[in-house]
Structure 1
């Protein structure tokens, strides 16, 4: 394990090998991970404010600054180690820790500022609103980054700064222990995969590093709850998210790489990575460069158009050209996640040894038409595990999940990110068409088969409706869509108990019936039930490539 840690930074520059397998290189001289590291740092360099020792906001918000991206950038600077990179990384770390919340009685103790110019959280003028004025998940994001820096680059960080970082990590671990799902508006349950995996790791790592048995025990206990949920069907509770599966894989890499065999995290981390990539590989369509739905939490409907952390990991595995990443990643939707690239690149030489060969193959070439069935479980929101089915063919994929939940919009309670039924298809210009069911109910039964999708609301009634968000046509396609015949690349036949008449409206950046979702414009096809109907709401869509 310690040999692997030592080699990690060297492997980025093609100077080390792991378990007999050399780091994937491009043109036999430079690895894909190195490509990702340098391209992301060159972009982040443009945002660095040398006067303040922070990154400017990646949203260019009137020259304010941003804390989390600054820390990710600092890790990248240590990996690059060119000119004054180390000096600037140390400045950033000191600045960020200086702004850490230090009042133990406050719910946000041990957390970090979202941006240094913000007012004091908890004042009358700036009240504490979780996930707004303060974000508890930033303890995990920044804490894990500090651990990576201490593990990979201790020879570059002055001893007094290392001590300062360990003090900060101790405080952030204490603060994270305040989090209890369902209390004080917090939603951290073991099923909230990405922050829960980070929480368990930081607690276990800090406990061991500082000989605090309570922290060590707490981390292991929380890890066991996460593992028990995962091993039920070898799936993340936060299933199939282009963004958060990427974060979970990052955090599981920390389990596998930095935790010893006396830790449950060290024992299970590698297998959990393998199983997660196996599932993603089965659901990936290399022709469309997309992971088939359903998606528990998505920040877009086409991975070719929004920047996903999972795509960054694919970049390190098969190269940028073969990954769902635009030639200009910073022009994609949700571009700010490009800032996590240095961490993905630093860990890639180790992480990529855990990716199954079958998955690697599927990232490069679609194998053949196949069906995938699995499940995922997110208590306390699910009354039973969500049952997932996907059908994948070379140019058309359909995926959906049956569920019964006590919320609308999935465990994140967000209909804009919860996509319980999805279809995607190839269009003649090489772009991807897509359709997603907008979540409006707590229960859904689905049937997915060859070219078909059937959806039923078991507790629906005559007031129920099905809203399908359909992506706009390609560059040369029709700008105006009045019905299914105007949708490019696919023919859709709709049947069921719904009224055959439907409405079509547009949600756009500059107008229409409503706003975009995750920066994507779309046409909203809505089906209602016949007036006075007593039938169970059911709709079937049959797809045929045009």
Structure 2
């Protein structure tokens, strides 16, 4: 049965046209985003190498980085001052020159992670997917080359135009080697962000070189993605502050560059609109955060890490709403994703025209409402994940039920998987507190209501436990959190079948009993079952704002 997000007390948005007019100049918000990002990238560009330095957490000592350099080249072409075009051409030639040309290798058509790296596949540097080589670089870099070709062809020498097309042919052929579940690859249509990029890269390149098979491959893959999306009008990779941003980018290319005889051209703008409607319903403007649950996250508070969705919010609403007016974005956790900003800015005139006034109003709304929807990510989801999130001005509670064959969500990564999340405004300093479930079971039932959360492990037993990552208190409040009563800004009443007294540990930057996750420190509160219990493991919370 087809379902869609049900948003109570939120304005219903009307249908958008499939095409939007491309503006000649950037809006004030987008220009501000573009200028600040380029000013930062200018400082880490190495003109002698034609690459950006590797800016990542933890900071790399010396090497350059490939993907971000192409994003910067897009910004240089947009700015087009002094020798910007000359530098952009050098970057494009350097990156394409380092593309793998051996068709027998699994990483054929891929680009280096960084140009100084040893040769992938040697004894000294074995081929390890998502490590020594990253198959998603084909999508990130290849689709960016499409944008450069489409938007700035008039600035590029003829030979560089040819290099881009040739690179995309190799890119697309190499990406066709990817089969989910084979050779350690995990690219299924439900892996939304690289799947969306793969489809448009294949469809665009096939049309550009008149290769009917390549064109058809892109269309068929797009149809598989679309079939999953149409089940609930949601991405399989649901509600990720980072990867929703990448998917929005890819859908922008579907809508902007694919013709109307393409499945992508017919559906890109509609899908983008629906992703934004769900995102807007789950966004809390006072907390500056996307409410949970999050299928994949690189942090627990978007005020403290760069989520690509935040870059889009800057373009749509302004920096203050996205990160805070005085925020030094380059200093936040996962700051390397700020390097994406020039590419997002170049596409913003078209993209932003597809986001309705109603969706913008929803992004700014603080009224109480509930969101219910579903998402489905086969092959690891046994059934669709049912999502319920309650939104209030200073408190959000969101969770999703699931039955999966892996631990840690469809990407099998428990460091990113957050199936139950509570966030609140702390009155002491207006900062954001958070509590997120670090799931230890492959099945979960949830109940969400105003000021309440219920979690049950239906297949659990007396050895099951519920572990929550808790934000440290703000400076000036209690240093130690040994129980729920020590948490600043929110009062807890705990029930269920667990022992109500948790075990407390700390995961810190320079100490503690466990490691930080994505740069975030946290307290680890674990609720266990009473010894010998025969009851189904469950925990319930009732919350009260201080």
Q: Aligned residue for 1:365?
A: 365
Q: Aligned residue for 1:433?
A: 433
Q: Is the 8 A contact 1:36 1:315 kept in 2?
A: yes
Q: Is the 8 A contact 1:434 1:471 kept in 2?
A: yes
In the TM superposition, residue 324 of structure 1 has moved relative to its aligned partner by 3.4
Q: Aligned residue for 1:11?
A: 25
> What's the secondary structure of 2:167's corresponding residue?
helix
CA distance in 2, matches of 1:358, 1:518: 34
CA distance in 2, matches of 1:529, 1:508: 26
Q: Aligned residue for 1:18?
A: none
Range 92-101 or range 470-479, more displaced: 470-479
> What's the secondary structure of 1:435's corresponding residue?
strand
Cα offsets for 1:272-328 (capped at 9, x unmatched): 011001001111111111111000000000111110000100100011112235621
CA distance in 1, matches of 2:502, 2:321: 39
Q: Could you list the runs of 5+ residues in structure 1 that have no partner in the other structure? A: 13-24, 26-30
Q: Is the 8 A contact 2:323 2:329 kept in 1?
A: no
Q: Aligned residue for 2:511?
A: 511
Q: Is the 8 A contact 1:74 1:93 kept in 2?
A: yes
> What's the secondary structure of 2:130's corresponding residue?
coil
CA distance in 2, matches of 1:150, 1:457: 51
Matches for 1:215-226 after TM superposition, within 5 Å:
215-226=214-225
CA distance in 2, matches of 1:136, 1:184: 12
Q: Could you list the runs of 5+ residues in structure 2 that have no partner in the other structure? A: 1-16
CA distance in 2, matches of 1:483, 1:527: 11
Q: Aligned residue for 1:414?
A: 413
Cα offsets for 1:85-133 (capped at 9, x unmatched): 0000000000001110110000000000001111100001111000000
Cα offsets for 1:382-416 (capped at 9, x unmatched): 00000000011111110000000000000111111
CA distance in 2, matches of 1:128, 1:231: 37
CA distance in 2, matches of 1:334, 1:219: 31
Q: Aligned residue for 2:272?
A: 273
> Are positions 1:200 and 2:199 aligned together?
yes
Matches for 1:270-309 after TM superposition, within 5 Å:
270-309=269-308
Report the aligned-residue RMSD. Answer: 1.4
CA distance in 2, matches of 1:426, 1:358: 26
CA distance in 2, matches of 1:500, 1:492: 11
> What's the secondary structure of 2:25's corresponding residue?
helix
Q: Is the 8 A contact 1:286 1:362 kept in 2?
A: no
Q: Aligned residue for 2:29?
A: 32
CA distance in 2, matches of 1:519, 1:56: 21
2:53 to 29, 53, 56: 56
Q: TM-score, normalised by structure 1?
A: 0.95
Q: Aligned residue for 2:13?
A: none
Runs of 4+ in structure 1 off by over 2 angstroms are 362-365
> What's the secondary structure of 2:476's corresponding residue?
coil
1:41 to 38, 42, 51: 38
Q: Aligned residue for 1:191?
A: 190
In the TM superposition, residue 355 of structure 1 has moved relative to its aligned partner by 1.1
Range 476-485 or range 487-496, more displaced: 476-485
Cα offsets for 1:190-225 (capped at 9, x unmatched): 000000000000000000011110110000000000
Q: Aligned residue for 1:464?
A: 464
Question: What is the aligned length?
Answer: 526
In the TM superposition, residue 362 of structure 1 has moved relative to its aligned partner by 2.5
> What's the secondary structure of 1:453's corresponding residue?
strand
Q: TM-score, normalised by structure 2?
A: 0.95
Q: Is the 8 A contact 1:281 1:358 kept in 2?
A: no
CA distance in 1, matches of 2:219, 2:360: 31
Q: Aligned residue for 1:453?
A: 453
Q: Aligned residue for 1:541?
A: 541
